Amino acid sequence: MKRKIFSILFTLVLVLSFSLVTAVPVMANTDRLVPSQYATIQLAIDAADPGDTIIVAAGDYNEVVNIYKSNLVVKSASGAEVTTIVATSAVATVDFIGASPEFGLVENSVLDGFTVINEFMGGPFPVVVRFQHASGCVAKNNVIIGPSTDTVPHMSGVVMSGEHNATINNILENSTISNCWNGFVVFGPGADGNTIRNNIVEENSNGAWIEYETENTVVQGNDIINNILLGIGIDEQYWSPSVNILINYNNIYGNGFGIKADYQVLTTPVNATHNWWDDTSGPGGVGPGTGDAVSNYVDYSPWLGAPVVVPSLRYEALDAGEGQVVDATAEADTEATLTVIALGSETDIYIVKYQSQPFPEEPFPDVSQDKFIDIYLSNPDAVAWPIYVEVYYTDSEVRAAGIAESSLGLYYYVSPDTFHRCSDTGVDTAENIIWAYMTEGEAVGSPVGGGGNPRIVGGTVYPVDKVSILMPWIGLAVALALAGVFIARFARRKVRS
């Protein structure tokens, strides 16, 4: 009897426990609509929970937007062409801002697809989009513009501020910045690991400033063009130097000066290799060419032989692992599969597409598809060779180039020679893929392009011989005549009998 009572009580406890667990509500991610549910973007942010998406309908929103909560997406429903945020009386129009380092950062929030304008004519140091007390936040697909009336001194398009703040691992991508005093600024000892990638920074007074004591700033795959004074300034005159600045695969041209590093302390040069300076001869200034100028403390060699497509850069950091796929089809019509072999080792991989052949003075050995990419590995020794590369093509591209589709393959460049066909390459005509198993010598530091043999149009032309042409018809006529005679004789014999 006691055992029976115990069993009943135990069952009741389990049922009650399960009901208590299942009774706890689960917060679902919520779409909060502006202006149908909330009159302003800020009201929607104030009401939001982590994981919510704030969807903003087309229109003009005259307000200041403080993104002070983590894991939010603030997204326009129809894109930057028709959705605008403009402020007239605030230092920053959009601010990714946590309370402070002591009380927490705003983390992993996103601003996506707006035109953002700051019309504030006062000071000090007005900003269109600012990151401060922010970690892992992203501003993408935005159009960022300074005041419409004039270029305001010290107005910056985007600021990643580490001065007395932690501002780490934030990203600005696929956006345009114009009509500002400075296109973007990264500064201060708390600014670490911030990335500016695949943007157009044009028609500002200065394209960018990277200032004192920043670490691991990445500027890659951008158009930094037609800025009045500087493309990029590195200012370390009175402070400890910044560390590990990477400026690669950008188009830097049409600026008053390309990259200027004002150092008064001993430091290592800025890594500014693999950029296009508007001329195949390379940068001017202390450089050997006629492109945009560079100063001392800028490592500019090697440089690119043609401009890159913006946006087209795909970047990934790979740890040890087999068969890792880097999908750059959206950026460069390319996919690479590789194995990183060393435990604890890693390599960065960059895939980017050129606007044209990067060595136009050297002829392509066969017929070029006129699509060129670059695959760069920061640590080739960590990779198991060969790597597998696929480049997608369309039927119209092949027809326009006049290539026999079955002959397509990938070609790699060897300086100072020319392009060579990869040792193990071919084509999948059903999937429209040119593939190659590329060796280290073929892939490392080498632009790659598709190509093949010319398409054969028509046939061989021979001299016209009228007799030869008529002989089959003459023979047929004779055969028919003989057959007629034979049939007539056979018919007469049959009648007589």
Domain residue ranges in the chain: 31-309, 315-452
CA angle (277, 280, 286) in 5-degree steps: 55
Q: What is the DSSP letter of 446?
A: -
Residue type, 272: A
Q: What is the pLDDT of residues 95-134, one digit of tens each?
A: 998 865 455 789 999 999 999 999 887 667 899 999 999 9
Question: 476 CB contacts (<8 Å, ≥6 apart)?
Answer: none
Least confidently predicted of 103-112, 188-197, 251-260, 301-310? 103-112
Least confidently predicted of 31-40, 402-411, 474-483? 474-483
Residue type, 220: Q
**Residue 50: band (very low, low, confident or very high) from pLDDT cuts 50, 70, 90:** very high
Q: What is the pLDDT of residues 163-218, one digit of tens each?
A: 777 899 999 999 999 999 999 999 988 999 999 999 999 999 999 999 888 899 99
Residue 206 — φ and ψ, nearest 5°? -125, 140
Contact (Cβ atoms closer than 8 angstroms) between residue 434 and residue 391: yes
SS3 148: coil
What CATH class has 315-452? Answer: mainly beta
Question: 428 CB contacts (<8 Å, ≥6 apart)?
Answer: 435
Contact (Cβ atoms closer than 8 angstroms) between residue 88 and residue 119: yes
Average pLDDT value for residue range 472-486: 57
Question: 181 CB contacts (<8 Å, ≥6 apart)?
Answer: 146, 151, 152, 153, 154, 155, 156, 204, 205, 206
Question: 312 CB contacts (<8 Å, ≥6 apart)?
Answer: 198, 221, 331, 332, 352, 353
Measured CA to CA, the distance from residue 71 to residue 108 in angstroms comes to 5
Residue 84 has pLDDT above 80, yes or no: yes
Q: How many helices (H) and strands (E) does the chain have?
A: 6, 44
Pairing of strands 433-438, 425-428: antiparallel
Six-digit token string for 183: 């296109």
Fold held by 31-309: Pectate Lyase C-like (2.160.20)
Residue 37 has pLDDT above 60, yes or no: yes
> What's this model's pTM, rounded to 2 decimal places?
0.84
Question: 397 CB contacts (<8 Å, ≥6 apart)?
Answer: 369, 370, 371
Rg of the chain over Cα atoms, rounded to whole angstroms, equals 33
Residue type, 324: Q
Same CATH fold assignment for domains 31-309 and 315-452: no
Find tokens 């600026």 and name the residue.
Answer: 255
**Residue 328: band (very low, low, confident or very high) from pLDDT cuts 50, 70, 90:** very high
Measured CA to CA, the distance from residue 416 to residue 145 in angstroms comes to 44
Whole-number pLDDT of residue 496: 47
Residue 42 — φ and ψ, nearest 5°? -65, -35
Q: What is the pLDDT of residues 389-402, one digit of tens each?
A: 999 999 999 999 99
Contact (Cβ atoms closer than 8 angstroms) between residue 294 and residue 285: yes
SS3 282: coil
Give 320-363 as a DSSP string.
SEEEEEEEEHHHHSEEEEEEE-STT-EEEEEEEEBSS-S-TTS-
